[in-house]
Amino acid sequence: MNIRSSGILMHITSLPSPYGIGTFGKEAYEFVDFLVKAGQKYWQLLPIGTTSYGDSPYQSFSAFAGNPYFIDFEILTKEGFLIKSDYDNLDFGNNPEKVEYEKIFLYKFPVLKIAFERAKGKYDDEIETFRSENTAWIEDYALYMAIKTKFDLVSWQKWDEDIKLRKENTLEKYKLELKEEIDYWVFLQFLFFKQYFELKKYANDNGIKIIGDIPIYVAEDSADTWANSEIFLLDEEKKPTVVSGCPPDAFSATGQLWGNPIYNWELLDKQGYKWWIERIKASNKLYDVTRIDHFRGFESYWEIPYGDETAINGRWVKGPGNKLFNAIKDALGDIEIIAEDLGFLTQEVINFRIASGYPGMKVLQFAFDTREESDYLPHNYDKNCVVYTGTHDNETVNGWLKNTKKSDVDFAVRYLKLSDEEGYNWGFIRAALSSVGDLAIAQMQDYLGLGDEGRMNIPSTLGGNWQWRIKKEALTVKLAEKICEVTKLYGR
């Protein structure tokens, strides 16, 4: 990342597809071709794990497993495991610009079950190899999903006591009883990684690197928390004693209550941070660069009593700091990481990020607060940073310009010399690309000049998020050429 370059942020879900949601199919390969024509070097994704209630990629059933929604039907058809009539007349949603997750959930898994039945005996050796290479997580995940299906998808916290507490005899009983369902969930993971790595190879072979994203925390309702409960701060009944969030600030009087379990950092330290090393190792295999969300939480994190309805009563607690990342470097060597160092930053957090050596993030939308000088103004950047027009949690540039107070917009117009003729969104893109930061990333929505309709997520809200999809006809040769021209102009 220390070579001057640029990329585009767009999640897999946002790719065009006739089946309701983006996949690892031909549209993903065509997007790689678009990135090449546009002179880009990076494709940034959001987390690609199995999503749960609320459809957020930051709340997954596993820190290691992939999302079966991304498995492509047409690839399975070419391989002989599906036929068009298995899926062609199903209702995956009629809006090409929005993912309808309920329909994807209802209709995609039954089709994948058909593929599982037809594929029996075809990939046995490859699946056994896959299982042996992923023993650290695959068996626990597949068992967890099989039991979750048996118990009508309720959280493991509501399972029968014997399996909730993972009593040995009960585990063995369910492994026998649910063998077919366990094999199905393993099969889905095998397909996911097979299709993903074929796409990644195509991208890498064409000079495009993948930036992936991992949340700092895992979901309470996840295979990780169920199978590795000792590394989280849980009580004897496996309920969290404290959960994650953010303190009250100018944007939220009650703070943000995320609700994820907090790590037992003392025990993880004694274990040599084995679980985290495995997680980063898996991420490094998946991605060329890993962005770690809420990186400041490794220095200090906001800890909220379990059961509270807001984040007001939380407190700051010291995290493992660079002791964790030194252990990761000792085990895995140098790994390319982007530190998401946004939010409330103390000098200790800044020093921690600098000591890690990882580039932090600069978001242009945060730069133009007229009340104070901002570190996000381009004249304050150093080279070791990644510059964004905005992230998945931000408005699009045009949405920001529409909804932000006039004095801040006027400041942006003066500072960036924004032009109606070119489009203010392009002025923001030019600012990111022309900055000294080694890497510049823009959301695809900003290149398209979309407004609020293109926003990916509104933090601390449930419903209506993670739905945006790009129209296939939007990825034109003319747009690719324009992106390429401005990219080359600024030496990226």
Give whole-number Cα distances, 54 to 60, 160, 439, 474, in Å.
10, 25, 31, 28
Closest CA to 362 of 471, 244, 247, 442: 442
Q: Which is catalytic among the residues 181, 293, 395, 446?
A: 293
Provide DSSP, 133-199: HTTTTHHHHHHHHHHHHHTTT--GGGS-HHHHTT-HHHHHHHHHHTHHHHHHHHHHHHHHHHHHHHH
Give whole-number Cα distances, 159 to 155, 172, 234, 239, 412, in Å.
7, 16, 16, 13, 53
Residues in a beta bridge with 316: 302
Q: How far is CA 470 from its chain centroid?
A: 18
Which tokens is 402 given? 């529409």
CA 217 – CA 198 distance, rounded (Å): 28
For residue 333, the SS3 value is coil
CA 110 – CA 66 distance, rounded (Å): 18
Q: Are 51 and 59 in contact (CB under 8 A)?
A: yes
What DSSP designation does 13 have? G
Tell me if residue 393 is catalytic.
yes
Which tokens is 67 given? 């999302």
CA 325 – CA 346 distance, rounded (Å): 19
Q: How many beta carbons lie within 10 A of that of residue 259, not counting itself?
A: 17
* CA trace torsion 292, 293, 298, 302 (10° rounding): -170
CA 330 – CA 327 distance, rounded (Å): 5
Q: What is the largest CA-CA distance in the chain?
A: 71
Q: Are 300 and 316 in contact (CB under 8 A)?
A: yes
Which tokens is 323 given? 């002791």
CA 299 – CA 322 distance, rounded (Å): 8
Tell me if residue 340 is catalytic.
yes
Q: Which is catalytic among the residues 288, 340, 341, 395?
A: 340
| Parallel/antiparallel/unpaired status of strands 439-443 and 385-388 | parallel
Tell me if residue 117 is catalytic.
no
CA 376 – CA 369 distance, rounded (Å): 10
What DSSP designation does 213 have? E
Which tokens is 115 given? 């593929």
Q: Are 374 and 368 in contact (CB under 8 A)?
A: yes
Q: Are 221 and 52 in contact (CB under 8 A)?
A: yes
CA 367 – CA 363 distance, rounded (Å): 7
Which positions are catalytic? 293, 340, 393
